[in-house]
């Protein structure tokens, strides 16, 4: 992974954290997951944010333009530094720690159940 990619992931994590804190200002939560799936051409993507609450409930949070702008830049990085990826799962903890998992399945954006979870 390139330094630019790592910087974009950091920006993405911060943007997700701000969005969740804005959407759930007085609620305790455990972590937030941003799931993004690019189409094969990289011209569009699906995305969702789900927040895990202390009781195990999962709450959806609407996307923000700030996140989409980082995703545009990340889309250009999908093939740099190695094998091209088609999706990413970014988990942000309350303590600002981020974990990322890349998805190399070129058909991941075609998952019909994507928004059901």
Does the pTM exceed 0.85? yes
Q: Are 37 and 87 in contact (CB under 8 A)?
A: yes
| φ and ψ at residue 28, rounded to 5 degrees | -80, 145
Q: Are 35 and 47 in contact (CB under 8 A)?
A: yes
Domain residue limits at 92 = 3-116
Q: Are 51 and 61 in contact (CB under 8 A)?
A: yes
| CATH classification of the domain holding 10 | 3.30.500.20
| Residue bearing tokens 């303590």 | 95
How many domains does the structure of the chain reveal? 1
Chain-centroid distance of CA 88 in Å reads: 6
Q: What is the pLDDT of residue 79?
A: 80
- One pLDDT digit (tens) per residue for the chain, 117 residues: 688 989 999 999 999 999 999 999 999 999 999 999 999 887 889 999 999 999 999 999 999 999 999 999 998 888 877 789 999 999 999 888 999 999 999 999 998 889 887
Give every CB contact of residue 46 below 8 A, 6+ residues apart in sequence.
Answer: 36, 37, 109, 114, 115
Pick the closest to residue 34 from 81, 95, 107, 103 (CA basis): 103
Q: What is the pLDDT of residue 37?
A: 96
Q: What is the pLDDT of residue 78?
A: 87
pLDDT digits (tens, 9 = 90+) for 16-38: 999 999 999 999 999 999 999 99
């Amino acid at each position: 992974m390139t330094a630019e990619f790592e910087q974009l992931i950091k920006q993405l994590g911060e943007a997700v954290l701000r969005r969740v804190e804005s959407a759930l200002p007085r609620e305790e939560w455990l972590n937030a997951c941003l799931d993004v799936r690019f189409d094969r051409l990289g011209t569009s993507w699906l995305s969702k944010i789900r927040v895990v609450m202390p009781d195990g409930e999962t709450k959806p949070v609407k996307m923000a333009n700030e996140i989409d702008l980082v995703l545009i830049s990340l889309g250009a990085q999908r093939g740099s530094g190695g094998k091209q990826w088609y999706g990413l799962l970014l988990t942000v903890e309350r303590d600002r720690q981020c974990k990322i998992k890349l998805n190399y399945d070129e058909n991941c954006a075609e998952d019909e159940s994507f928004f059901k979870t």
